[in-house]
Amino acid sequence: MASAASSTAPVVSKVKGATHGVAPLRAGQGISFVLRRLHSLSGIVPVGAFLFEHILISNSTAITGPDAYARQVSFLANLPLVFFLELFGIWLPILFHALYGFYIWYRGDSNVGEYPWTGNWMYTAQRWTGGIAFIYIVWHTYTMRFTGIDLHAYPNASFGKVQAEVFYTPFFLFYVVGLIAASWHFAYGIWLFSAKWGIVSGEKAQKRFLAVCLGLFLVLTGAGLASLTSFRSRPQQSVEPGTTVTNNQQFSGIR
Ligand code: HEM
């Protein structure tokens, strides 16, 4: 590993009155500069935008109930060229952001011991929450999209399929950990992005914006937990092809 922290590790200025925060993105050498910018941007669009939609819009419909959730899944599944939307709008950008994120992590030392400032803990948390979110995302995509009943073909089975997972307590806890990690990573990532691209500058403005980002973290986590509670608190819905949600056999299956 390189001995110095990467160029975007939090910088603590020892000069009195100087602004605390992350180093801005600077023009580096050729391709690495472009990749660094793309990594930063991809965290907001499309990956962050997708996370926002996924937690606050699509999955929140589960709070209303199985019928509303099935309609939302059906709407998404019927978007034109949905496979290519997923491939170029979600999977490849996440893969790029994650792989380059691991590379950034590998290149820069965590300097928590060197600077007694919360920014350095945030720097480390940004890496660990990214890593945890990655493990969660791979598992979640595999189980929901590529195994079991195909929800694009049978959206009515969506509510039941999620329930079958979250009724199993170890998986439910994994959902909670994945939700908190991804929400934190994205919310603090917006702050990092704004500081690096010079959108929010000055110590006061950055502090205020940090509070806004913390608020977003709480909203994302709260909405995600409310959706998970809704799956856990309703009777198990069928996961058979062709079932209508309202005709589901119902039993309580929390394990
Ligand atoms: C839930 C999906 C994810 C979202 C929404 C997301 C979003 C973001 C955002 C908005 C940023 C701030 C951009 C910037 O630094 O300028 C960021 C930074 C970062 N992300 Fe992600 N990310 C996700 C997944 C991951 C994964 C799986 C990794 C793998 C480790 C990762 C690693 C990183 C790293 C290392 C940084 C900090 C880069 C730096 O300090 O320069 N991210 N992410």
Distance 50 CA to ligand 1 centre (A): 13
User: Model pTM?
Assistant: 0.87
Distance 184 CA to ligand 1 centre (A): 10
User: 17 versus 199: which is more confidently predicted?
Assistant: 199
Distance 113 CA to ligand 1 centre (A): 22
Report the C-alpha gap between 237 and 231 in whole angstroms: 10
What was the pLDDT predicted at 80?
Answer: 97
Span 18-51, pLDDT tens digits: 445 677 776 656 788 899 999 999 999 999 999 9
Give the chain as a DSSP string: --SSPPTTSEE---STTPPPEEPPP---SHHHHHHHHHHHHHHHTTHHHHHHIIIIIIGGGGGT-HHHHHHHHHHHHTSTTHHHHHIIIIIHHHHHHHHHHHHHHHHS---TTT--SHHHHHHHHHHHHHHHHHHHHHHHHHHHHSSSS-TTT-GGGHHHHHHHHHTSHHHHHHHHHHHHHHHHHHHHHHHHHHHHTTSS-SHHHHHHHHHHHHHHHHHHHHHHHHHHHHHHHSPBPP-STT--GGG---B----
Which residues form ligand 1's pocket by a CB distance below 6 Å? 8, 40, 43-44, 47-48, 51, 97-98, 101-102, 104-105, 126-127, 130-131, 133-134, 182, 185-186, 189-190, 192-193, 196
Say which residues have a Cβ less than 8 Å from residue 95's Cβ, sequence separation at least 6.
Answer: none
Span 80-127, pLDDT tens digits: 999 999 999 999 999 999 999 999 999 986 666 665 567 789 999 999
